[in-house]
Structure 1
Amino acid sequence: MTIPTELIGSMPRSNELLAAMAAFEAGSLDGAKYAAIQEQAVRETIETLEATGSPVATDGEQSKPSFLTYPVEGLSNLSPDGVVIPFADGHTRQLPSLASGPFRYKTHADEYLRAARRHAKVPVKQAVAAPSALSLLYPSAGITGYSRQQFLDDLANEAEADIRGCLDAGAHVVQLDFEEARLSLKLDPSAGLLDDFIALNNRVLSRFTGDERARIGVYTGPGADQDSTHSLDVDYAGLLPKLFTLFVGNFYVQLASEADPDRVLRIIADHLPSEARVFIGVIDPIDPRVETAEEVRDRVLLAGRHIPVDRLGTCDDAGFAPFADDQSTSRQTAFAKIRARVEGTALAAESLGL
């Protein structure tokens, strides 16, 4: 037996890809040439991931504008004045808002997955936006002739199709990105918003069989954008017991950047469902220093004191560039950190006699 290890999803984009993105948006690069540059970026990302020894790959989200907005990029019924997400360093990200119904995805994630699998020799996982995150697109003032309930019905159907399409296309795992979970407790300490988010996600997840849920996971963390977070100051104790009520087989939990990982591991051990696996973060993408394999090994061994090894995996604390324009971490550093995770996880397995 080995300890499985996976990345969360995104990798920094190359300078060539970022320049092509800007040129395409400015209208000075045609779509065919842009698509070719994107495909090259996906191929190079997967090849480099495989060279690190990573047993699972992603496309690095090289063709996504962000981990969250890919389903709606280019829709004509959006306005730019949506929810603002503030980060600790003062910068913000603003979501669009829905201007009229009905709500439909413009792009489904299986398109990215199919493109990635053409280049991969190892299994490929696919990250998707959680329906809870996309629920933030509905404006608080409402939409005439299109109720919030109608929107949530449409959203649930689209989110199910997004996940199911990836399962059908051969995803190793489909991972719901649920960064808004911890943030919701900052916005609403009563946890009412978090409860609504979990109910919506479970409404979608309940449509899948037990075998399908074994290939579905959920990621949570405090945000990681431009070397800053939006909710690291929120106590995990209010989130994790509720998080583990989600109907999935895999949980990916940021941990390397936690001030007291031992305490968080105790909470995980107390609430992790018996049939689920938890991937604990052993690499901090925000820290510019590349962790050593030995540091990773020690973080895994600490986790192994609390969590049965057959229910344990490792991951990074977050994606390395969840928004396409985030250049705070170089590709070289990101791949070096992934190699350290892979090698450190193997060292831990060896120490445990696996």
Structure 2
Amino acid sequence: MLIPTEPIGSIPRSPELVEGLSAFASGRIGQAELDALTQKAIADTISRFEATGSPVVTDGEQAKSSFATYPLDGATSLAGDGAVIPFADGHSRQLPRLTEGPFRYASFAEKYFRGVSQHTDLPVKQAVIAPSALSLLYPADEIAGYSRDEFLADLADQSEADIRRCLDAGASSVQLDFTEGRLSLKLDPSRGLLRSFVELNNEVLDRFSAEERRRIGVHTCPGGDQDSTHSLDIDYAELLPDLFSLHAGRFYLQLASEPDRERVLRIIAEHAPADAQVFVGVIDPIDPRVETPEEVRDRVLEAARHIPADRLGTCDDCGFSPFADDTSTSRDTAFAKITARVQGTALAREALGI
């Protein structure tokens, strides 16, 4: 299909699941009750995805505590005082801190794929966290008996396994969430941190064949949590040249919320690899207003002036609820926006005669 359209990942959890997560955390319900609520939310998510006409679905990350920390669910050797990610509205998220090695994933994304594939015959996309994000778990002071280099080697092995297990299980594509890419430029304007992230991610990507990498994509955005971002003030021109040196076959780029989309599209056209599929964001999950299909169509046609139609795709800027407790956007709004993306992309295909 020319100009494919795909979701990024997270959908706001159902109100029943949000309450269930709170009840589980406080000990008011057990694991069995939480699992039942989660399965109900996944089934409803897939049903609503199918109703939008989406050709590709996800589980909406209903079973993930967050897009970034799912590999740590059930892990030990962690403290709660890790790296802090500040958002523009003043709130923040904090990562755990690794206290000892060796580092191992306690949970792999394959289980989320298998949990959703039983509910649909449509292609299922699976999001995973990029190894660069998890590299922030290692503290500034070296862990006794476990060097940073040893940690990064273990992290690369675990990330490879996370991706490969999803591909082998039958995921139509695997998306590395790389929201820390733009944030790294705020932390280190010299680009040194960004380039170390790219190097680590490429170490993992290079373990896959060229055919496999065509099914592996990278998503970048300026963050999206509680209707706020962490790095929208960082110029895309500072990120994109290095981003496109990642050895991935697909790139999912936040674009709808950019103040000057034409400028960004010119940068994309200049730097994107010639054989990569570029999915541009045509939906802003933070904006409470639901875009019309015609607005989406016009955004696609704008992008098509810079990116050949056979390399162009559409997506949402970000997930709608990357953290389980984020209720700033309703499920109804999220699916209305997804419907507009699907319909608007179809209108753009018609306008382009493809």
- Fold match by TM threshold 0.5: yes
How far apart, CA to CA, are the structure 2 residues paired with 1:68 and 1:329?
Answer: 19
Q: Which runs of 5+ in 2 are unaligned?
A: none
Partner of 2:175: 175
> Residues 103-149 of structure 1, C-alpha deviation per residue, up to 9 Å, x if partnerless?
00000000000011000121000000000000000000111010000
Report the alpha carbon displacement of residue 196 of structure 1 after superposing the two structures with TM. Answer: 0.2
Partner of 1:188: 188
| Alpha-carbon contact 1:57-1:125 (below 8 Å) kept | yes
Report the alpha carbon displacement of residue 74 of structure 1 after superposing the two structures with TM. Answer: 2.2
Q: What amino acid sits opposite 2:117 in the alignment? A: R
Q: State how 1:230-269 maps to structure 2 within 5 Å.
A: 230-269=230-269
| Alpha-carbon contact 2:74-2:107 (below 8 Å) kept | no
Partner of 1:129: 129
> Residues 321-353 of structure 1, C-alpha deviation per residue, up to 9 Å, x if partnerless?
000000000000000000000000000000000
Q: How many residues align?
A: 354
- TM score, norm. by length of structure 1: 0.99
Partner of 1:270: 270
What is the DSSP-based 3-state SS (H/G/I as helix, E as strand, rest coil) of the residue aligned with 1:251? strand
Partner of 2:217: 217
How far apart, CA to CA, are the structure 2 residues paired with 1:10 and 1:319?
Answer: 5
Q: Which runs of 5+ in 1 are unaligned?
A: none
Q: What amino acid sits opposite 2:35 in the alignment? A: A
How far apart, CA to CA, are the structure 1 residues paired with 2:163 and 2:275?
Answer: 20
What is the DSSP-based 3-state SS (H/G/I as helix, E as strand, rest coil) of the residue aligned with 1:71? helix
How far apart, CA to CA, are the structure 1 residues paired with 2:157 and 2:120?
Answer: 30
Give me the CA root mean square deviation.
0.6
Report the alpha carbon displacement of residue 28 of structure 1 after superposing the two structures with TM. Answer: 2.1
What is the DSSP-based 3-state SS (H/G/I as helix, E as strand, rest coil) of the residue aligned with 1:114? helix
| Alpha-carbon contact 2:2-2:309 (below 8 Å) kept | no
Partner of 1:107: 107
What is the DSSP-based 3-state SS (H/G/I as helix, E as strand, rest coil) of the residue aligned with 1:175? strand
Partner of 2:342: 342
| Alpha-carbon contact 1:2-1:346 (below 8 Å) kept | no
Report the alpha carbon displacement of residue 249 of structure 1 after superposing the two structures with TM. Answer: 0.5
Q: What amino acid sits opposite 1:159 in the alignment? A: S
Q: What amino acid sits opposite 2:249 in the alignment? A: G
| Alpha-carbon contact 1:89-1:228 (below 8 Å) kept | yes
What is the DSSP-based 3-state SS (H/G/I as helix, E as strand, rest coil) of the residue aligned with 1:239? helix
Partner of 1:56: 56
How far apart, CA to CA, are the structure 2 residues paired with 1:314 and 1:2?
Answer: 11
Partner of 1:91: 91
What is the DSSP-based 3-state SS (H/G/I as helix, E as strand, rest coil) of the residue aligned with 1:269? helix
Q: State how 1:275-354 maps to structure 2 within 5 Å.
A: 275-354=275-354
| Alpha-carbon contact 2:64-2:70 (below 8 Å) kept | yes
What is the DSSP-based 3-state SS (H/G/I as helix, E as strand, rest coil) of the residue aligned with 1:126? strand
> Residues 260-280 of structure 1, C-alpha deviation per residue, up to 9 Å, x if partnerless?
000000000011111100000
Greater Cα offset, 112-121 or 339-348:
112-121
Q: What amino acid sits opposite 1:290 in the alignment? A: V
| Alpha-carbon contact 2:9-2:319 (below 8 Å) kept | yes
Identity of matched residues, % = 67
> Residues 287-335 of structure 1, C-alpha deviation per residue, up to 9 Å, x if partnerless?
0000000000000000000000000000000000000000000000000
> Residues 44-85 of structure 1, C-alpha deviation per residue, up to 9 Å, x if partnerless?
101100100000000000000000000012211100000000
How far apart, CA to CA, are the structure 2 residues paired with 1:18 and 1:231?
Answer: 27
Q: What amino acid sits opposite 2:253 in the alignment? A: V
Partner of 2:228: 228
| Alpha-carbon contact 2:6-2:55 (below 8 Å) kept | yes
Q: What amino acid sits opposite 2:137 in the alignment? A: L
Partner of 1:158: 158
How far apart, CA to CA, are the structure 2 residues paired with 1:81 and 1:208?
Answer: 34
